[in-house]
Structure formats: C-alpha cells, structure tokens
Amino acid sequence: MIKKILNKIKQKLSFRNSGYYWDERYKKGGNSGPGSYDHLAEFKAEVINDFVKNNQVNTVIEFGCGDGNQLKYFEFHHYTGFDVSTEAIKNIKETFKNDSSKEFYHLSEYANQKSDLTLSLDVIFHLVEDKTFEDYMIRLFSSAKRYVIIYSSDSDVQYPIQSIHVKHRKFSDWVNNQKIPFKLIKRINNKYPYDGSNETSYSDFFVFERI
C-alpha cells in the first residue's frame, strides 16, 4: 500500500497534462493499454464492425487512434485517425503505410473533416483537464454526419486508487446539457465488466444518432 501511495505521489509530481503524458508514454515504448488488445479489442471490434455493416457506414473518424492495435480488428471502407501524440502518429503511419484506406493526423491538424461515424474508444476518462474534455466532445459530435459511438465509463465516481491520467466523467450529462442534435439510440454493456483487473473494463458502448 505504501509503495502504491508513493508511486501515485511521484506520478502527480511528474504529470504535466494529458497530451504530454501520452506522448511520453509512446516515446518510452508504451502502448494504448489493455483495452486495445486481445479479448477486449475483439469485443469492441465485434460491436463496431456489425454496426458499420448494418448501417452502411462508409467513412469513419476516430479521435484518439493511439498505437493502432485496435484498428487491426476493424473493417472500414475509409478511416481517418487523429491523436494528440506526435509519437503515436509517427508509429501508426509506419504500421499502416501500405493501406491506402487509412490516414492519420496529429490532432492539431484537424481541419473540420467530417464522416458518417465518429469514434471515441477508451478516451474520455483520460481527458483529465476540463477544457480538453470540452473541446474533445465538441469536436467529436460536430464532425459526425450521422453517428457517434462512445466507449467509456459514464460516471463521475472515481476509484480509490487510480492512475493520475484517469478521470471518470458522466459525459452523458454533457450531451444532454449541450442540447446537441443527437439522441442516444443504444447502450451496450461490456462483455467483460470491470472487476479491478486489466482483463476487464469499466467502459460500455453508447451509440448516438444525429436527429
């Protein structure tokens, strides 16, 4: 317990902001986390691939593409990924350099691109600064022509011991308060609900449709 407390203090002292955290993480050889690998990645792909197929989705934008491992499971006609980490974008471009159906940009290069579907997968609870969260949500919904899919926790409850780069948010309140032209049409509970281990997730699917 003492070791965990000391590690948390060390994290707080070295933490600058969420963007810096992820860029440094990828520079040090880190990845996007367990949610983008193995059975958790397969679960996400199963849900999203079915949705894309059943709703004739041709173009997809993801805000927070990370290391690209999750993308290997998806079946999209055209995909555009944005990320706050320069290192992540450099690496993912190399990974998919022979795939012309995919393109990647640093978030600063976003120029009001729009797509049938926009994705936010295991990202919202990593937006620890309020302004970062606000800007992200506006961008996520304004760039969607038809649908937005969010995969995240939807609660303000924080866990007793959680990483400094995690802040859970009840994002559905933001959606309701903004009165944006979208409605929640489906919620899909996680196949592996959180039990404290990295084999599980506190994220569920929330599917929004433009009114």
Domain boundaries, the chain: 2-210
- Of the CA atoms within 13 Å of residue 35, those in its CB half-sphere come to 21
Other CB atoms closer than 10 Å to residue 196's CB: what's the count? 9
Task: Tell me the C-alpha distance between 135 and 99, whole Å.
Answer: 30
User: Cα 3 vs. chain centroid, distance in angstroms?
Assistant: 30
Task: Tell me the C-alpha distance between 67 and 95, whole Å.
Answer: 9
Position 16 scores a pLDDT of 65
Could you tell me the mean pLDDT of each successive run of 10 residues in the chain, 211 residues long?
44 65 91 94 98 98 97 98 96 97 98 98 96 97 98 92 87 95 98 94 97 95
The CATH superfamily label for domain 2-210 reads Vaccinia Virus protein VP39 (3.40.50.150)
The pTM for the full model equals 0.91
Task: Tell me the C-alpha distance between 68 and 31, whole Å.
Answer: 9
